[in-house]
Structure 1
Amino acid sequence: MTAGQAGVFWLEFDPDSGHNLLRKVSGESPQWGTPPTIDIRSEVNGYGGGALCAGRDAVYAVEASQQQIHRIDAATGATSAITQDADASFGGLVWDPFHHRTLAVRERSGCQQLVAVRDYNEVVPLHDSEDFYSAPALSASGERIAWICWSLPDMPWVRSVLWTAEVGEDGALIRARCWPTPGEGSVQQPVFDGETLHVLSDHEGWWQIWCVSWPDEQARWTCLDSTAADHASSPWQLGERHFCPLGQGGWVWVRYVNGVGELWLKRSTGSSSAKVAPGFNDFRHITVFDGQLYCIARSATRLDSVLAVDLATNRARLLAGDEAPFSDAPIVSPEPFQVPPSNGVTEEVAGFWYPPVDGSTDNNPPPLILIAHGGPTSMAWPVFNPQVQFWCHHGFAVADVNYRGSAGFGRRCRMALAGNWGQSDVEDMERAADHLVATGRADVSRLFIQGRSSGGYTALMAMTRGTRFRAGASLFGVSDPARLREVTHRFESGYLDWLLGAPSDYPERWHERTPVQQAHCIRRPMIFFQGGQDRVVVPEQTRQMVRVLEQNGQSAELWWFEDEGHGFRQRKNQVALLENLLAFYDQHSRKCNDGG
């Protein structure tokens, strides 16, 4: 989402075309900003982000197929490419009104740069000494700039640093300086309040808002909100915004409490803070423009919404979305649960349980599907998920689990997965299952586990540890980390070594936590879904896992979608996935009820 003189703009995913389409509000009602043939998406770092920014009379956006920046006229929608760098991808776009240019991160030939783009292929490098760059931020005068960098082998949420520079009259950067955090930590989302710089830093355990100044050439870090809570999630994408200044000491920010997002607003220095937009559980892309706060908001019972909050009254109004997903069917709301520490594990497990709509009772607990979220340094949000609703309407309970290593629970929880992937996450999935069985919310004989991508790895590892789960599902999941390590993209090239330790140092650990090497331990049925164009989990990896299981005499189904990549985008394939997975779970639920 972005806002400027040209209006308020955001992206909406169109399931029919599989494209991200531009929408805008310049009056009261949303309009399409581009035809459905234009797909807007950045691929920098593989996950993109910051694919658009609003200029004076146009929007600048990254077109998906060529990864070039296009100028889209705000009035007419006329589109033209302003970069023609065939080997590059762009992301993290920010409009610089002082030099009439777009600032961006350019990625090509295994390197990244902070660049400035003027109309029609004038691309000027600004900074290029570091491995990775975040979207930059400009001060109110345009004379100062800040950005975040990190270096291999780190991920940005493990260790990253703040950079600043002055901007010369010609737009070049002057006196670039690096400002490490006072303690070990990571920083993200730099933003200026006038000329004063703020960032989110977790060097004291949580991603909190810090003011950073350097009056005597020594950085001073001052915390604005010391609440023991994360104020952002993991920065997988460029250009995320979870907080924003309002001027006169006022702020708006997101705070995560037990995995639930809250939106808080403080109008000025000395005023009290207030929680706004109740009923929504996650907020992203916070933007303030012309006395209004804009954001993408998500709730447990509605589709994603675009909110506008009047900063004078705190009243929120809908610009788009918030439509009822079903016209004649109930929506199942999540019920938070916590699993207390036990058996030497000192951390709680948090998650969200969704009951089936068929009214199962204590004497007849429902079958349960446990979902391991992807990432793995991501989190489960209590927001509307049509696939979760699908399971609940077909008689299953669902548990979406935030295992150790999840974001949103502080640095200690997030870092707990270092060297422990395939162990701590699996233990926590088992703890969640046992807790829900013990509290009468799941049938112990009908427990299923599934996950996408890295969540598929967690599900596979859980299936190697015995027969607690009746069956498991891997949706384009990792079954051979060593193979993934050989082909993974640059952004995550050091991630697996952080998750498991370097293979040269821990060869036994890698063997023990590689599902394809432990396939002989799987004693229950598995089902796999794989895209033939997947560039993250190489398709052959899934074929090999299925072959090994079949050679061992185990039941393994494989559903192949040749036209899909990593994550299914086409509606027909999403429907086919759910239908086949439902048949699989129903089959093994019936076998259990029949004594099989």
Structure 2
Amino acid sequence: MLSAVAEPLSARDACLQARQFSELQACGRAVFWLASEPETGNVGLWQSDAAGTRQLNTGASVRSRLNGYGGGSYAVMPGLICWVADDQSLWMMDLTQGRRTCLVDAPGVAWGGVVADPRRRRWLAVRETQGHQALVAVGCQGDVAVLDDRFDFYGAPVISRNDQVAWVTWQLPHLPWDQSQLCCARFNNAGELIGRMTGAPPGGGSVQQPQFVCEQLWALSDHRGWWQPVRVVPDQGVLRWQPEQAESADHANAPWQLAERHACPLPDGGWARVRYVQGWGQLWLERPRRHLRVAWTCSDFRHLVVRDNELVCIARRPDQGDSVLRIDLATGRAGALAAAPSPLSGAPCVWPESLVLPPDDHHPHGLQAFLYHPEQSRKAPPLILVAHGGPTSAAYATFNAQTQFWCQRGFAVAEVNYTGSTGFGRAFRQALAGQWGRADVADMMRMKEAFAAKGLIDPHRVFIQGRSSGGYTALMAATRTDHRIRGLASLFGVTDPLRLKAATHRFESGYLDWLLGPPGPEGRYWHSRTPARLAGSISCPGLFFQGGQDPVVVPQQTRTMVDAMKRAGQSAELVWFDEEGHGFRSLEHQTLVLESLWRFYHRLASG
């Protein structure tokens, strides 16, 4: 009998999760951020100042869809705020009067990386139209001027007080965490860019998050093996890279979204910076003679800004929802400016245990995972291995109500930062090139065996699940009979990489060739790593969830896979949602998914 707490989370409450915060900015004494609404999926824009905390009346959800992942959805200057609406129209509001104005509403256009240019009373942004990106300026009357359009992709720009400008670019087939360049220029009196310079990190690599400090240009570059701070000096038309002494740790994660900010200068000198150490985010106040770690109980930090003598940021931790955290720069004491309510309602929360396996030839810094132990477990519990998405993303020790749902019902949950995960250095990330479906699977299974050897889980009751690219890892793991998987769950998982390559959006159009290697004639090189062709090799029951309108994972491929497993004599169930796409937005559908997973795992774990 699986153990349970007296009043466990319902599936619906677990699917509601908690309100998520993102994209925090400061303007004078006011702080702004985005907050999701779990009931509707909408994203609201919030403001906090001396008058209190309130949601701005944007009239619609705020969301950039640039590159599929967005970022830089709004920007603020004294008296004005500009944002990207869910339909990708661009809007502006007079913060004094609350009056909204539509600046640009053009079908087929996506916006992101919006920043304020207060000296010229305009906005800079990245615009994509008909598969072409440009760095543009948008006036308060809706007039648009192209500033630069020489590159395939653009990151959010930054502007110095003396009209210097910097931004990141990259070219197909690369992604921004693979190979990217830093551009800098300056504005002339007409607001046009002049004196352009472009440079890649020494020896290649990626650069992100440029910012100006007293006209000095800083960025994060991974050319020395980690995303570390570097000062960039324009010198006779060439960019000189001057690394700062820093810990051997990633000081940012992969830039899937525009306008991330993991560092900011402090008013009395020094920096506030984030470091990722064995999967856990650390926040440091780095002054010339003293480095102080603050907010120890938090595990991830984003969008750092300074307001007077406070550091403000979005913070996350394992046992509660997001918060807007304020940290006194003099004492290091932290408190919440705003916090998302937890659906646990006072019930105990399971904290993760971070487990690190010793280094080897493939993992020079070890292999790390977060393991959540079930409550009231009297014997080795069943395990749900969750493969994170990306796959060059990461598993973070942040609050997840669904993880708590499983722990309350007697399951252990593990999230493995397998080869390719960010936060473990460039070499670890790049090691996934050509090895997707192999290296990630091997790491998931290696960690599972380590859990079993320590007596932490029951090796005969191990399940694996994932969504999208994580579903691909789960499916590939299940094709190996020696992995002893009791059951698999694929939520709109990738089943046919070749079909995905034909359908994927421009941002990731070269991604699969990097992950798997070139497909070869008729995709033959990929056949041995195409789950749809290996369905007959899956030797455990499977549960599949698929949206009928999914533009990424071709829906028929999931049906084909389920049919193939059934023809091979294996149990396979399919839960189909006609109106859903790649990711389920309906709360009712999300609840049904979790309830179906519970019945599936409980039946197999109890049998």
Same fold by TM (over 0.5)? yes
Q: CA deviation at 1:504?
A: 1.6
Q: 1:135 aligns with which of 150, 156, 161?
A: 156
User: In structure 2, how many angstroms separate the alpha carbons of the residues matched to 1:344 and 1:8?
Assistant: 44
User: In structure 1, how many angstroms separate the alpha carbons of the residues matched to 2:337 and 2:440?
Assistant: 39
1:479 is matched with 495
2:410 is matched with 395
User: In structure 2, how many angstroms separate the alpha carbons of the residues matched to 1:187 and 1:540?
Assistant: 39
Q: With structure 1 as the length reference, what TM-score do the two structures score?
A: 0.95
What residue ranges of structure 1 are gaps of 5+ in the alignment?
592-596
User: In structure 1, how many angstroms separate the alpha carbons of the residues matched to 2:595 and 2:131?
Assistant: 40
Q: 1:578 aligns with which of 575, 594, 607?
A: 594
2:120 is matched with 99
User: In structure 1, how many angstroms separate the alpha carbons of the residues matched to 2:551 and 2:50?
Assistant: 42
Q: Secondary structure at the match of 1:98?
A: helix
Q: Confirm whether residue 61 of structure 1 aligns to residue 83 of structure 2.
A: yes
2:562 is matched with 546
Checking the alignment, whether the CA contact within 8 Å between 1:6 and 1:58 is kept in structure 2 is no
Q: CA deviation at 1:506?
A: 10
Letter in 2 for 1:570: S
Count of aligned pairs: 583
Q: CA deviation at 1:428?
A: 0.4
1:333 is matched with 351
Q: CA deviation at 1:49?
A: 0.6
Checking the alignment, whether the CA contact within 8 Å between 1:194 and 1:247 is kept in structure 2 is no
Checking the alignment, whether the CA contact within 8 Å between 1:81 and 1:120 is kept in structure 2 is no
User: In structure 2, how many angstroms separate the alpha carbons of the residues matched to 1:135 and 1:588?
Assistant: 48
Q: Confirm whether residue 371 of structure 1 aligns to residue 391 of structure 2.
A: no
User: In structure 2, how many angstroms separate the alpha carbons of the residues matched to 1:509 and 1:342?
Assistant: 28
Counterpart mapping for 1:145-544 below 5 A? 145-247=165-267, 249-267=269-287, 270-321=288-339, 323-341=341-359, 348-360=366-378, 364-466=379-481, 468-504=484-520, 507-544=523-560
Q: Secondary structure at the match of 1:533?
A: coil
User: In structure 1, how many angstroms separate the alpha carbons of the residues matched to 2:188 and 2:346?
Assistant: 60
User: In structure 1, how many angstroms separate the alpha carbons of the residues matched to 2:422 and 2:465?
Assistant: 20
Q: Greater shift after overlay, 406-415 or 507-516?
A: 507-516
Checking the alignment, whether the CA contact within 8 Å between 2:112 and 2:127 is kept in structure 1 is yes
Q: Greater shift after overlay, 543-552 or 161-170?
A: 543-552
Letter in 1 for 2:32: F
Q: With structure 2 as the length reference, what TM-score do the two structures score?
A: 0.93
Residues 328 and 314 of structure 1, relative CA distance in 2, 3 Å threshold: closer
- 1:234-256 Cα offsets, whole Å, 9 max, x none, are 00001111111224542111000
User: In structure 2, how many angstroms separate the alpha carbons of the residues matched to 1:584 and 1:77?
Assistant: 51
Q: Greater shift after overlay, 107-116 or 553-562?
A: 553-562
1:594 is matched with none
Q: Secondary structure at the match of 2:297?
A: coil
User: In structure 2, how many angstroms separate the alpha carbons of the residues matched to 1:321 and 1:573?
Assistant: 27
What residue ranges of structure 2 are gaps of 5+ in the alignment?
1-23
User: In structure 2, how many angstroms separate the alpha carbons of the residues matched to 1:541 and 1:402?
Assistant: 28
User: In structure 2, how many angstroms separate the alpha carbons of the residues matched to 1:80 and 1:429?
Assistant: 50
Residues 290 and 86 of structure 1, relative CA distance in 2, 3 Å threshold: farther
User: In structure 2, how many angstroms separate the alpha carbons of the residues matched to 1:411 and 1:201?
Assistant: 10
User: In structure 2, how many angstroms separate the alpha carbons of the residues matched to 1:318 and 1:343?
Assistant: 43
**Between the two proteins, what is the percent identity of the paired residues?**
49
Letter in 1 for 2:519: P
Checking the alignment, whether the CA contact within 8 Å between 1:29 and 1:319 is kept in structure 2 is no
User: In structure 2, how many angstroms separate the alpha carbons of the residues matched to 1:389 and 1:491?
Assistant: 34
Checking the alignment, whether the CA contact within 8 Å between 1:88 and 1:107 is kept in structure 2 is yes
Checking the alignment, whether the CA contact within 8 Å between 1:464 and 1:522 is kept in structure 2 is yes
Letter in 2 for 1:99: R
- 1:284-339 Cα offsets, whole Å, 9 max, x none, are 11122333322110001111101122333323221111544422421000000012
Residues 343 and 229 of structure 1, relative CA distance in 2, 3 Å threshold: closer
Checking the alignment, whether the CA contact within 8 Å between 1:68 and 1:83 is kept in structure 2 is yes
User: In structure 2, how many angstroms separate the alpha carbons of the residues matched to 1:69 and 1:180?
Assistant: 32
Checking the alignment, whether the CA contact within 8 Å between 1:83 and 1:120 is kept in structure 2 is no
2:68 is matched with 46
User: In structure 2, how many angstroms separate the alpha carbons of the residues matched to 1:590 and 1:202?
Assistant: 48
Q: CA deviation at 1:577?
A: 1.1
1:18 is matched with 41
Letter in 2 for 1:236: W
* Superposition RMSD in Å: 1.8
Checking the alignment, whether the CA contact within 8 Å between 1:5 and 1:57 is kept in structure 2 is no
Q: CA deviation at 1:374?
A: 0.1
Q: Confirm whether residue 8 of structure 1 aligns to residue 31 of structure 2.
A: yes
